[in-house]
Structure 1
Amino acid sequence: MKKKANKLLLDTLQNIAEGLAETFAPFCEVVVHDLRNPGNAIHGIYNNLSGRGIGEPATELGLARIRDPGFPARFSNYANTFSDGRKVKSTSIGIKDDSGAYVAALCINVDLTLFQSFQSAISQFTRIDDGRIHEHLDRTPAERIHARIDEFAASRATTVRSLSAMDRKQLVQELKKEGLLEVRRGANIAAAHMGVSRATIYGDAK
């Protein structure tokens, strides 16, 4: 009866493994281990990325579970490596029978090679030259100026119109550096929002 139950368990794990491998192909290998037979533990391997085969022995995690029923049932997202050096993210889940002994394991190995290439490409694509050229493509420069002024005042825990002369001068200098005073009517927009004259803005900008 117990042997039949373990076979049913392994068959169920194989269905799960095959479904996971099909869903996450071509990046993910899923392996079913029969821990009752550590010398030839690999019972099923789907979307084979590691080059291993059916009947190969248990890994270190499998052997540790066989020796110790108290060994953790799950390790998620740990670093691993295929034999050819490819970096892998692995998850291993141990399965116990009704007596509390480990009888099987489901292991998921994700090849990170392509994702690391994507990461490198995205990093290169999103890199910008933070030089002296500033251009704003939004259609509402007034909203951008207002938001920048409000943000500055909030960082000083005060209101826009309560800024000290020194803080106001610093703010205007920052607006100038960011090119916000160069947009059409930028100085007028800033002056009106801060409750000062345009001449004050020009004076602070010097």
Structure 2
Amino acid sequence: MAAEESLEQERNAILAALGPVADGIAATFGPVCEVVIHDYRRPEQSVVAVAGSVTGRAVGGAMSEIGLRVLARGDKAGDELNYLTRTGSGQLVKSSTMLLRDSTGTVFGALCVNLDVTAVNQAQALLGALAGIAGSGAGADPPVTTFGNDIDSVVDALVDAHLLHGNQTWAGLDRARRLELFRGLDERGVFAVRRAIEQVAQRLGISRASAYSYLSQSRATDQTSEGDPT
């Protein structure tokens, strides 16, 4: 008990010490920069500090689907650096997620840096067009990421994305695809959130008991068990 209390104090001290660091990074890069500090011990209200404003996050807000994915990987997770994503409003954001670990190596939070590079991307496209090389070297369009101050919007977006990816409705999915949907949500850390199973059930229009059954089956090593909950 004393050891765990000591670790909790250590984690709290690390989070507190990073506040000025977040302010300094945001001040250095200016209004296009946002730095968010997450405490993964509270997925539903993981944001404990914010400097700058790019994704509209606020203290007390929830982690994004990126954070949920890290949470699902646990201590095996690694830093995710210099990746591109796009907000629901169309902003192109370059981000880095750097994990926070205590002295035992346990992941308990993250320091996230988000840069709004929308204007840079537009300027690059304009210069390319002027130079006659428009479209060269264009990569895949960055995925849209839901940044919300409530975890419900993040969970709903993940469920909808799974269905829209296959242009399907829940009723149109066979048993294998339904299990695949629950397995995918589980791998993305959705069910680490309190009451997520109830929310997923409501979003899909099924009973909570059915949702628990699908989740249990999706986690089982033997996927040949008979019976399809309704």
With CA pairs under 8 Å and 6+ residues apart, which has the higher RCO, 1 or 2? 2
| CA deviation map 1:104-161 (0-9, x unaligned) | 1011111111101221333344459xxxxxxxxxxxxxxxxxxxxxxxxxxxxxxxxx
Deviation at 1:68, TM superposition (A): 3.4
Q: When the two structures are superposed, what TM-score results if normalisation uses the length of structure 2? A: 0.51
Q: Please give the secondary structure, in 1, of the residue aligned with 2:74.
A: coil
Q: 1:20 maps to which residue?
A: 25
- The answer to whether the 8 A contact 2:47-2:62 is kept is yes
1:118 pairs, out of 117, 123, 128, with 123
2:16 pairs, out of 11, 28, 39, with 11
Alignment map for 1:1-206 (pairs within 5 Å):
1-127=6-132
Name the CA distance, whole Å, in 2 between partners of 1:101 and 1:78.
Answer: 24
Q: 1:164 maps to which residue?
A: none
Where do 5+ consecutive residues of structure 2 fail to align? 1-5, 134-230
Name the CA distance, whole Å, in 1 between partners of 2:114 and 2:49.
Answer: 14
- The answer to whether the 8 A contact 2:31-2:53 is kept is no
Identity of paired residues, percent?
A: 30
Where do 5+ consecutive residues of structure 1 fail to align? 129-206
- The answer to whether the 8 A contact 1:64-1:71 is kept is no
- The answer to whether the 8 A contact 1:65-1:102 is kept is no
| CA deviation map 1:49-70 (0-9, x unaligned) | 1112111112233333334333
Q: 2:194 maps to which residue?
A: none
Name the CA distance, whole Å, in 2 between partners of 1:94 and 1:66.
Answer: 10
Structure 1 pair 67–100 and aligned structure 2 pair: CA distance change class (3 A):
farther
Name the CA distance, whole Å, in 2 between partners of 1:68 and 1:96.
Answer: 14
Once superposed, what is the RMSD of the aligned Cα atoms? 2.0
| CA deviation map 1:9-34 (0-9, x unaligned) | 00222221111111011221111001
Counterpart residue identity of residue 25, structure 1: G
Name the CA distance, whole Å, in 1 between partners of 2:73 and 2:127.
Answer: 44
- Which one has a bigger Cα radius of gyration? 1
Q: How many residues align?
A: 128
- The answer to whether the 8 A contact 1:17-1:31 is kept is yes
Name the CA distance, whole Å, in 1 between partners of 2:75 and 2:55.
Answer: 28
Q: When the two structures are superposed, what TM-score results if normalisation uses the length of structure 1? A: 0.56
Q: 2:176 maps to which residue?
A: none
Name the CA distance, whole Å, in 2 between partners of 1:15 and 1:83.
Answer: 29
Q: Please give the secondary structure, in 2, of the residue aligned with 1:68.
A: helix
